[in-house]
Structure 1
Amino acid sequence: MDHPAPGMAPTPLTDHETALVRAGLAVVEPYAADLTVYFYTILFARYPQVRELFPDDMDVQRDRLLRGLLRIVDLVDDPENLVRFCTLLGRDHRKFGALEAHYPAVGECLLASLARYAGAAWTPDVEAAWTRAYTTAARVMMLAAADDTRLRPATWAAQIVRHEHRGHGIAEITVRTETPYPYQAGQYVSMRTPWQRKAWRQYSPANAPRADSTLTFHIRAVPGGRVSNALVHRAAPGDIVTLGPPQGDMTLAAAGDRDLVCVAGGTGLAPIRALLEQAALGDMRRYVDLFVGARTAEELYGLDDMLRMAQRQHWLSVRAAVSHQHIAGREGTLPQVLREFGPWGQHEAFLCGPPGMVTAAARILRNEGVPAARIHHDPLSDPVLTTPLAPSRHEPESEYL
């Protein structure tokens, strides 16, 4: 498959080409599961050298391919956000070892798969439109990866220097990178362990950047989670993990000069704690209301640390809520308690925790007049596929390639 010459900006698809791309997708959508199986089968058969880039368990990977493809098609008539999305994909794929030579192979097998399941609907015009769409997306990804290569490494090696169990399946793990790791408080980091070398998971540092190049993560062992369980129960000081580039826009820079309302559930307190630590390092001229929630009082992870911070910082107010235990104080879900202490219409909001909690809290804040642009949270599932693209006229999906 040919690609535009280096330096040439991708040309947007015409309205007719956009319609053909979407029509082609509509035809194959009923066969999506079979199509993705076929795609990877012929990709690995024709280009066995790319197999090592993918995890052994391909079930999740096939779903990621489909959702990534759907989002590209959704943005095919929105060039600005298509470039943003493909730029994120291109940068992120560096950590997997993706090379420019892999893109033509993927395009060839993708078009062959679409042709097989579209049948008679796969006309020369539809094929040409899909070729243009893929070429555009692939070129943006390659250019983004090339630019990123000039700015920073694809990954950072980090040695575990401290590993402490905090109860309820949570470990506090501190790592040190060989070279400074360039992140901002509130961002999240993809991490790979030596025990699952093709599996990446996202975790948020619980601290603002430090001079000694250490980062602390609060990681909960998820039932069936091979990466989280290895980090909590197997990892030890001296082990080496790998970090991908920092991602996310949930930083203090996004808040302007408004007062803040922060909502944290479980280990979702980590990025909120990093934001507050960053705020304490500066000249804080606004107030912060922090709500920490859990099912029971014993599970109010990190609350004592936040209460101690509130004693030192006059601008910080901390409240806790439990939803499954009768205790003195606030009882109820975190979103319910949040609503009691409003209104929040003039605040900037930062949310982190289980997806259901984040969704409910965001709904309450919007109902109280907080614009969606002032409600900040990380993507609720796989970040690269669902990172909000602003400004955008498309609603992002709630779930990553």
Structure 2
Amino acid sequence: MSANDRSYHTLLARHEAMRLRRGLLTPGNTAGAHGQLPAGEPYDGGADQRTIMDHLDLVAPFEELITHLYQALFTRHPSLRSLFPASMEFQKAHLARAFSYLIEHLDRPDEITRTFTQLGRDHRKLGLLPAQYAAFEAALCAALRIQAGERWHVELERAWVRMLRLGVTAMVRGADAALHEPPCWRATVTAHQLRGPDLAVLRLRPHETFRYRAGQYVTLESARLPHTWRPYYPAGAPGQEELEFHVRRTGPGGVSDALVRHTSIGDEVRIGPPKGNLTLGDEPLGELRLVAWDTGWAAMKALLRELDARMGTGSEHRGCAVRLLMGAGTLSDLYDTDYLTTFASGRPWLTVVPLIAGAAPEERTRDRLVQAVAACLSPVAGPTLVAGPPTAVSAVTDALVRAGLPAEHLCHDLPSAGAREVRGNAAGAAPAGRAAPPGQPVGVPSAVALRAGPAPLPM
């Protein structure tokens, strides 16, 4: 048995002993010091939401709270440190957004359950085991006491613990329900083509069957950066033996840097489970707008391939009219044009509108992109799917709503405005009543959906 295995089994035994002890000290399973609920009593998330929001200043900013949390976690359980990447900044940002999402949706526990069930499935790739969540809970309690100091009180801690357990319970169930599939898929790089100094198109061949839907994204891990995962969209049609990914290098030292500049044919990459909501339903689409900026084209390429297959099968999608609006900073950023030109030439149902910034600021080109989308709206307009870097997607979607496009017609994967607002207020980054700018770190998926949840919880 390895040292990590021994450490985990010790943790598991300690967790079971604590559970039994709490049961003995709380007859009838009434609410105890750690916030457990009486058996059969429904969870009043709204009450906990009010308690947490009324005392948010005690634990703000989230960045400091989370720093204390991880310090307590790794001090008490050093073996857990190996599950995380060397740099914790990305993980801390993810957890801050997860806390914001939980607080915002606490009065809607069913939504939290759906979202965190998916997170539990996805987090199996990190090697997490149920007993380790108990260690995370204890570390959270320690962090709350340190951050709140003399103003800490037991009701606040109980509310935070109950909120955490709501999400963790869903994650454990999601992990259990996915036991029929691998936690992640190993894949070999079969092609690596540079399309510019900072852009590469990769093809990966999974070692086992990998199923996904066009419009979903996956996370990738390079062997150069263990335990560091970043989301990307497969650009190919599902069911192929190889997967195609478009990766724009966003800076030195990250996953995108490793995939663009330090990956070769024959290297191994790991793939996480597919997720996301930028997919096509079975209902007739009518008019469909696909809005892409830069590598957001990858998501749209997969969707166009699926649409093409449906158009030729006599399905109800045959009456669909698709308008693809492509934005880029320079002409060289508008890559893969040969494929797109050939594809569009034989499909009368597809209209392509390219918009290049050139010497103009990108913000001006985004405005033109919004104007072009707004110009093709109609009373029976169907959905608008937006893909690209987070800042571009946020700017475009906000402008489209201001231009009159109903928010329910927009599909993307950025956190909702409410989640950004809670995080901004907690971190002191935005005034009350206004949404903070999106805190999505570099390397998030290129497509983003109002109906999506937070970034993955890193525990």
Q: Give the TM-score category using the shorter length.
A: 0.7 to 0.9
SS in 2 for 1:308: helix
Question: Which residue is equivalent to 1:177?
Answer: 206
Which of the residues 149, 157, 160 maps onto 2:189? 160
The question of 1:228 aligning with 2:228 is answered: no
Deviation of 1:337 (Å): 4.3
Which of the residues 75, 95, 116 maps onto 2:105? 75
Q: Which amino acid aligns with 2:170?
A: V
TM-score scaled by structure 1? 0.87
Q: Is the 8 A contact 2:277 2:451 kept in 1?
A: no
Mark the CA change 1:236 to 1:134 in structure 2 (over 3 Å): closer, same or farther: same
1:251-290 maps to which residues of 2 (within 5 A)?
Answer: 251-253=279-281, 256-283=284-311, 284-290=318-324
Deviation of 1:263 (Å): 1.4
Structure 1: unaligned runs, 5 residues or longer = 327-331
Q: Hey, what's the Cα distance between the residues in 2 that align with 1:187 and 1:139? A: 25
Deviation of 1:22 (Å): 3.3
Q: Which amino acid aligns with 2:346?
A: R
Question: Which residue is equivalent to 2:383?
Answer: 348
Question: Which residue is equivalent to 1:137?
Answer: 167
Deviation of 1:367 (Å): 4.2
Question: Which residue is equivalent to 1:329?
Answer: none
Mark the CA change 1:360 to 1:22 in structure 2 (over 3 Å): closer, same or farther: closer
Q: Hey, what's the Cα distance between the residues in 2 that align with 1:320 and 1:178? A: 37
Deviation of 1:111 (Å): 0.7
Question: Which residue is equivalent to 1:190?
Answer: 219
* Deviation digits for residues 26-61 of structure 1 (CA, Å, limit 9, x no counterpart): 31214x433322221221111112111111112332
Question: Which residue is equivalent to 2:179?
Answer: 149
* Deviation digits for residues 162-187 of structure 1 (CA, Å, limit 9, x no counterpart): 11111242111101112221111111
Question: Which residue is equivalent to 1:85?
Answer: 115
Deviation of 1:389 (Å): 7.0
Q: Percent identity?
A: 31
Question: Which residue is equivalent to 2:138?
Answer: 108
Q: Hey, what's the Cα distance between the residues in 2 that align with 1:169 and 1:44? A: 36
Q: Which amino acid aligns with 1:276?
A: L
* Deviation digits for residues 109-160 of structure 1 (CA, Å, limit 9, x no counterpart): 111211222234333333333333333222222112111223x211001111
Q: Hey, what's the Cα distance between the residues in 1 that align with 2:136 and 2:81? A: 12
Q: Is the 8 A contact 1:159 1:175 kept in 2?
A: yes
Q: Is the 8 A contact 1:53 1:198 kept in 2?
A: yes
Which of the residues 256, 265, 273 maps onto 1:245? 273
Q: Is the 8 A contact 2:234 2:244 kept in 1?
A: yes
Moved over 6 A (4+): 396-400
Q: Which amino acid aligns with 2:108?
A: D
Structure with larger RCO (C-alpha < 8 A, sep 6+)? 2
TM-score scaled by structure 2? 0.76
Q: Is the 8 A contact 1:262 1:291 kept in 2?
A: yes
Mark the CA change 1:387 to 1:162 in structure 2 (over 3 Å): closer, same or farther: closer
How many residues were matched structurally? 387
RMSD of equivalent CA atoms: 3.0
Deviation of 1:376 (Å): 1.4
Q: Hey, what's the Cα distance between the residues in 2 that align with 1:16 and 1:361? A: 36
Q: Hey, what's the Cα distance between the residues in 2 that align with 1:229 and 1:369? A: 39
Q: Is the 8 A contact 2:46 2:106 kept in 1?
A: no
Question: Which residue is equivalent to 1:376?
Answer: 411
* Deviation digits for residues 305-349 of structure 1 (CA, Å, limit 9, x no counterpart): 2121111111111121111249xxxxx614414524613141321
Q: Which amino acid aligns with 2:382?
A: H
1:53-64 maps to which residues of 2 (within 5 A)?
Answer: 53-64=83-94
Question: Which residue is equivalent to 2:327?
Answer: 293
Mark the CA change 1:389 to 1:286 in structure 2 (over 3 Å): closer, same or farther: closer
Mark the CA change 1:305 to 1:257 in structure 2 (over 3 Å): closer, same or farther: same
The question of 1:29 aligning with 2:60 is answered: yes
Mark the CA change 1:127 to 1:164 in structure 2 (over 3 Å): closer, same or farther: closer
